[in-house]
């Protein structure tokens, strides 16, 4: 059921009127929020504001947030180790962290938590490649694969499901 | 930029603001209660927490801190408390409070609903060394002597006890007798291998049959003497062997007799075992002192230690330049603390002003200074100073210093209580002191000094003019014990004790002395000693009676066999000695005969020579 939900969401996004840049923008913002272990932080507040203010696709952001929340759980040990290495293992960065620690508002990003910092760095590394990957992927999909996918038997079956119909009704929320 | 988004953002902001106004207080209250409970180890409750975002003002109406050792009581409770947070440091995540006014403090109050003591897992983390010391104290408490009232109330029934006693001495004596029998059997075999009277007769027969008067020639004499000497040497060698055997036998018998003394040890062990089964009480002074006050003292020190352990844990966390990598639950991560710049630490309550009442209307006031996340930043330790006094000289002084500025954490707590009213107080859980105090007062002086892994605690308690409330006597107490208990209590008008707990890396020492140690031990002994002595004597005589038969059998075995074998050895010895003498006599006789024959031949030769000379002249 969950798979169908996500798949329906994905197909919906791919077919929406949103431009590939909007979809890729929503995707990377959702990824940044999803990879962060703590929802309530200054970083996430800024990201949500950006999500609302910028003209990016919200449905894609929600989709990528859901997917990357799961990925965040899986890569937690990696994030923890990376964060610990950056915060404790590198003496050269120590002064920088101390400056951040004492700067106004930055403590509320909880950057001095190993998983928060580790996952933020991973997200930032993935940010640009992921943006272009998603954007190119959407363009290619729309050009080559969309008509074929629409003719798949099980795609037609899925369209007849109740959940898909609900998405159709609420699709304006994603635009 | 989307306009809809901005509108949505505005609405979202309004909703969040409303939610904050509605829920911040509850959330804050819950967080504070959760942190406080983890720190104290029991339920901590704040009432009507009110936080103003605009003024950064925090207030609550009351605070109750449950006593972890008695969840129906509060360690203390406080009334209205309020304070302001500073805005500018807060932007940098720093909580700085200048002064907290905490009024209406009262200690040891009754709770309306029972609180909850937290399990060790639910409590806040503690420093490793504090946990180690606490565990050591726990072991000490577990090893505290137990006072079993029933062992005093039950009369010692030696008859029924005797059926349960399984004496080991009889079996051991039987086994020992078997070993001795084998030893003597060995000796018997050695003695049997000695020549019999017949063998000796055979050996000496030739010598006995020699008739020196019938020997005439020199050659015969020489041959006979040689033969006699040969037999004499043989008999003499045999004689020496028997002498050696006799000496070895004497040595072995001495060893057997020495081994036999182990029987006395077995009897003693059997006696002690029977005494232990009878559970005849040991009324040593040391035990009484520890039973009376030991566990209560240890529990109090443990409680203080758990708070110190938590304080040290947080101090170590923020002090650590490169904290060890932990394994936190997924998505929780590990927080790394950095040194704050400027003159302000991350968390600093500069002062808490306390006021309230304690011990029946004694006014109390005090200050807690510099509760701070990193003492090195402000260069001052956390200090607690609470004083209370009344016109009738009742007084309380509590001074505490928590110093985490150096590498070794150092905590020092001094408490003095004077003229404490002791009415309705039950000093100990000792079963023979079940009564509450009716009248009297006391003083406590305690000093707890913790430095790194070491600590030294001295607690002194003195009470005077005591009288007890006998109406509080337990109903089910044995009549004899009730008499003993009243006798103890009636002679008590002052109680004092002095406890020391010391821990260094090499030594752990817990000592309690009390003026009533000797009193209680003497009273108990005076009432119980006759019966105890009688039971001891009965058990001793039973053991003796049971074991004596076996011991006598063993003695008799050793003595009889020794005497029998010694007689046989001596008989052979005598026999050989006689033969030896006989041969020596015979040898002398032959030698005499040789000498006589020599003289005879000499004389004859002289006469013949004279005769020849005469014929010549």
Predicted local confidence at residue B448, as pLDDT: 92
| Eight-state DSSP code of residue B328 | P
Q: A62 vs chain B: nearest CA distance in angstroms?
A: 15
Rounded CA gap, B145 and B287, in Å? Answer: 6
Q: Is A116 in the B-facing interface, judged by CB distances under 8 Å? A: yes
List the 11-50 stretch of A: residues with Cβ below 8 A of B: 37, 49
E strands, B345-435, where? 347-358, 362-372, 382-389, 395-403, 410-421
Mean per-residue pLDDT for B373-380? Answer: 87
* Residue B37 pLDDT > 50: yes
* Residue B284 pLDDT > 60: no
Digit-coded pLDDT (tens) for A107-144: 889 999 999 999 999 999 999 999 999 999 989 888 88
Q: Does one domain contain both B443 and B582?
A: no
Q: Are A71 and A35 in contact (CB under 8 A)?
A: yes
* Boundary of a domain, candidates B465, B491, B525: B525
* Boundary of a domain, candidates B461, B491, B525: B525
> Range of B212's domain?
160-259+546-616
Give domain status of residue B187, yes or no: yes
Q: B324 vs chain A: nearest CA distance in angstroms?
A: 9
Of B509, B423, B484, B428, nearest to B461 by C-alpha is B428
* Boundary of a domain, candidates B460, B493, B525: B525
CB-nearest partner of A49 from B9, B325, B341: B9
Digit-coded pLDDT (tens) for B494-553: 888 888 988 887 788 888 888 877 777 777 767 666 667 777 788 788 888 888 888 888
Q: Contact B1/A97, CB-based, under 8 Å?
A: no
* Residue A14 pLDDT > 60: yes
Predicted local confidence at residue A33, as pLDDT: 94
Q: Contact A53/B336, CB-based, under 8 Å?
A: no
Q: Is A96 in the B-facing interface, judged by CB distances under 8 Å? A: no
Q: Is B341 in the A-facing interface, judged by CB distances under 8 Å? A: yes
Spell out which residues of chain A touch residue B374, defining contact as CB-CB under 8 Å. none
Q: Is B617 in the A-facing interface, judged by CB distances under 8 Å? A: no
* Residue, of B320 and B438, whose pLDDT is higher: B438
CA angle B38, B58, B13 (to 5 degrees): 100
**Least confident piece of the model among B16-20, B176-180, B472-476:** B472-476
Rounded CA gap, B499 and B509, in Å? Answer: 10
Q: Is B338 in the A-facing interface, judged by CB distances under 8 Å? A: yes
* Residue, of B6 and B555, whose pLDDT is higher: B555
Q: Contact A79/B333, CB-based, under 8 Å?
A: yes
Predicted local confidence at residue B589, as pLDDT: 84
Q: Does one domain contain both B133 and B174?
A: no
Q: State how beta strands B454-469 and B436-451 pair.
A: antiparallel
| Eight-state DSSP code of residue B430 | -
Spell out which residues of chain B touch residue A73, defining contact as CB-CB under 8 Å. 330-331
Q: Does one domain contain both B508 and B551?
A: no
Rounded CA gap, B190 and B498, in Å? Answer: 71
Torsion angle (degrees, nearest 10) of CA B579, B581, B587, B590 = -100
Give domain status of residue B391, yes or no: yes
Average pLDDT, chain B: 82
Predicted local confidence at residue A170, as pLDDT: 59
How far does CA B580 lie from the centroid of its chain? 70
Spell out which residues of chain B touch residue A114, defining contact as CB-CB under 8 Å. 333-336
Handedness of CA A125, A127, A128, A129 (dihedral sign): positive
Q: Does one domain contain both B120 and B175?
A: no
Spell out which residues of chain B touch residue A35, defining contact as CB-CB under 8 Å. none
Q: Is B335 in the A-facing interface, judged by CB distances under 8 Å? A: yes
Q: Does one domain contain both B467 and B517?
A: yes
Mean per-residue pLDDT for B304-316? Answer: 81
Digit-coded pLDDT (tens) for A22-71: 999 999 999 999 999 977 889 998 998 888 888 888 888 988 999 999 99
CB-nearest partner of A105 from B6, B91, B340: B91
Give domain status of residue B588, yes or no: yes
Q: A151 vs chain B: nearest CA distance in angstroms?
A: 35
Q: Does one domain contain both B521 and B552?
A: no
Task: Tally A–B CB contacts below 8 A.
Answer: 87
CB-nearest partner of A37 from B93, B331, B341: B331
Q: Are A42 and A109 in contact (CB under 8 A)?
A: yes
Name the domain count of chain B.
Answer: 2
Q: B133 vs chain A: nearest CA distance in angstroms?
A: 30
Q: Does one domain contain both B582 and B553?
A: yes
Digit-coded pLDDT (tens) for B421-456: 888 777 777 777 778 888 888 899 999 999 988 889
Q: Does one domain contain both B515 and B555?
A: no
Rounded CA gap, A39 and A26, in Å? Answer: 17
Mean per-residue pLDDT for B27-46? Answer: 88
Rounded CA gap, B462 and B419, in Å? Answer: 10
Q: Does one domain contain both B437 and B519?
A: yes
Predicted local confidence at residue A175, as pLDDT: 47
Digit-coded pLDDT (tens) for B582-611: 888 888 888 888 888 788 888 988 888 888
* Residue, of B286 and B126, whose pLDDT is higher: B126
Q: Does one domain contain both B476 and B514?
A: yes
Q: Contact A98/B339, CB-based, under 8 Å?
A: yes
Backbone angles phi, psi at A123, to 5 degrees: -65, -40
Give domain status of residue B571, yes or no: yes
pTM confidence score: 0.57
CB-nearest partner of B91 from A53, A104, A113: A104
Q: Is B1 in the A-facing interface, judged by CB distances under 8 Å? A: yes
Predicted local confidence at residue B399, as pLDDT: 95
CB-nearest partner of A102 from B1, B335, B340: B340
Q: Contact A112/B336, CB-based, under 8 Å?
A: yes
Give domain status of residue B435, yes or no: yes
Q: Contact A102/B335, CB-based, under 8 Å?
A: no
Rounded CA gap, B236 and B230, in Å? Answer: 10
Q: Does one domain contain both B192 and B330?
A: no
Q: Is A64 in the B-facing interface, judged by CB distances under 8 Å? A: no
Give domain status of residue B44, yes or no: no
**Least confident piece of the model among A13-17, B189-193, B544-548:** A13-17
Name the residue of chain A whose CA is nearest to B6's CA: A53
Mean per-residue pLDDT for B348-375? Answer: 85
**Least confident piece of the model among B47-61, B72-86, B443-457, B589-603:** B589-603
* Residue, of B449 and B492, whose pLDDT is higher: B449
Give domain status of residue B558, yes or no: yes
Q: Is A84 in the B-facing interface, judged by CB distances under 8 Å? A: yes
Digit-coded pLDDT (tens) for B214-248: 777 777 778 888 888 888 888 888 889 889 999 99
Q: Contact B331/A76, CB-based, under 8 Å?
A: yes
Predicted local confidence at residue B231, as pLDDT: 83
Percent of chain B at pLDDT exceeding 70: 90
Q: What band does B279 get if pLDDT is binned at 50, 70 and 90?
A: low
Name the residue of chain B whose CA is nearest to A91's CA: B322
Q: Does one domain contain both B582 and B515?
A: no
Q: Is B11 in the A-facing interface, judged by CB distances under 8 Å? A: no
Residue found by looking up tokens 């109050």 in the block: B109
Give domain status of residue B295, yes or no: no
């Amino acid at each position: 059921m969950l798979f169908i939900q996500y798949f329906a969401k994905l197909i919906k996004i791919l077919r929406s009127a949103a431009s590939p840049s909007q979809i890729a923008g929503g995707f990377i913002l959702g990824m940044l929020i999803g990879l962060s272990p703590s929802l309530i932080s200054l970083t996430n507040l800024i990201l949500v504001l950006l999500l609302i203010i910028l003209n990016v696709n919200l449905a894609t952001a929600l989709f990528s947030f859901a997917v990357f929340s799961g990925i965040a759980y899986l890569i937690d040990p990696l994030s923890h180790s990376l964060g610990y290495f950056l915060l404790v293992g590198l003496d050269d960065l120590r002064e920088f962290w101390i400056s951040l620690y004492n700067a106004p508002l930055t403590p509320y990003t909880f950057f001095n938590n190993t998983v928060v910092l580790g996952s933020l760095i991973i997200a930032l590394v993935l940010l640009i490649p992921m943006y272009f990957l998603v954007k190119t992927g959407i363009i290619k999909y729309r050009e080559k694969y969309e008509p074929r996918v629409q003719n798949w038997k099980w795609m037609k079956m899925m369209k007849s499901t109740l959940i898909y119909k609900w998405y159709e009704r609420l699709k304006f929320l994603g635009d | 930029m989307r306009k809809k988004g901005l509108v949505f953002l505005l609405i979202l902001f309004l909703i969040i603001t409303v939610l904050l106004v509605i829920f911040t207080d509850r959330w804050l209250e819950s967080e504070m209660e959760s942190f406080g409970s983890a720190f104290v180890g029991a339920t901590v409750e704040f009432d009507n927490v009110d936080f103003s975002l605009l003024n950064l003002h925090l207030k609550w109406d009351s605070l109750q801190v449950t006593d972890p050792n008695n969840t129906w009581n509060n360690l203390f409770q406080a009334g209205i408390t309020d304070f302001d947070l500073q805005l500018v440091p807060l932007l940098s995540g720093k909580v700085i409070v200048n002064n907290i006014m905490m009024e209406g403090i009262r200690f040891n109050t009754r709770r309306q609903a029972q609180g909850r003591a937290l399990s060790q897992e639910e409590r806040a983390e503690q420093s490793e060394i504090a946990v180690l010391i606490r565990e050591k104290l726990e072991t000490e408490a577990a090893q505290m002597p137990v006072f079993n009232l029933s062992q005093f109330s039950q009369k010692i029934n030696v008859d029924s006890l005797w059926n349960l006693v399984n004496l080991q001495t009889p079996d051991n004596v039987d086994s020992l007798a078997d070993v001795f029998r084998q030893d003597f059997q060995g000796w018997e075999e050695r003695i049997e291998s000695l020549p019999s009277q017949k063998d000796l007769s055979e050996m000496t027969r030739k010598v006995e049959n020699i008739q020196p008067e019938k020997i005439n020639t020199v050659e015969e004499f020489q041959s006979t003497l040689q033969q006699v000497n040969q037999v004499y040497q043989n008999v003499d060698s045999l004689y020496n062997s028997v002498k050696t055997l006799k000496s070895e036998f004497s040595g072995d018998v001495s060893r057997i007799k020495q081994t036999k003394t182990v029987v006395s040890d077995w009897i003693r062990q059997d006696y002690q075992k029977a005494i232990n089964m009878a559970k005849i009480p040991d009324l040593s002074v040391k035990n009484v002192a520890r039973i009376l006050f030991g566990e209560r003292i240890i529990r109090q020190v443990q409680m203080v230690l758990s708070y110190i352990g938590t304080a040290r844990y947080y101090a170590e966390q923020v002090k650590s330049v490169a904290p060890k990598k932990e394994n936190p639950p997924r998505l929780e991560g590990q927080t790394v603390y950095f040194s704050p710049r400027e003159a302000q630490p991350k968390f600093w309550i500069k002062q808490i002003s306390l006021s309230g009442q304690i011990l029946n209307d004694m006014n109390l006031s005090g200050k807690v200074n510099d509760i701070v996340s990193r003492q090195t930043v402000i260069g001052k330790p956390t200090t607690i100073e609470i004083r209370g006094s009344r016109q009738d000289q009742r007084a309380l002084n509590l001074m505490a210093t928590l110093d985490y500025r150096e590498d070794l954490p150092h905590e020092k707590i001094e408490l003095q209580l004077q003229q404490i009213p002791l009415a309705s107080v039950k000093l100990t859980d000792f079963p023979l002191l079940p009564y509450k105090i009716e009248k009297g007062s006391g003083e406590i002086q305690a000093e707890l000094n913790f430095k790194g892994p070491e600590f030294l605690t001295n607690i002194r308690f003195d009470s005077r003019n005591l009288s007890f409330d006998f109406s509080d006597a337990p109903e089910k107490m044995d009549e004899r014990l009730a008499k003993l208990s009243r006798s103890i209590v009636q002679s008590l008008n002052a109680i004092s004790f002095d406890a020391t707990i010391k821990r260094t890396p090499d030594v752990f020492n817990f000592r309690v002395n009390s003026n009533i140690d000797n009193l209680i031990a003497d009273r108990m002994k005076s009432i119980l000693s006759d019966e105890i002595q009688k039971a001891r004597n009965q058990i001793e005589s039973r053991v003796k009676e049971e074991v004596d038969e076996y011991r006598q059998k063993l003695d008799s075995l050793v003595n009889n066999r020794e005497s029998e074998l010694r007689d046989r050895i001596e008989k052979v010895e005598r026999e050989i000695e006689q033969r030896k003498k006989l041969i020596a006599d015979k040898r002398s006789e032959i030698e005499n005969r040789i000498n006589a024959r020599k003289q005879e031949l000499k004389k004859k030769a002289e006469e013949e020579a004279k005769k020849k000379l005469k014929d010549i002249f």
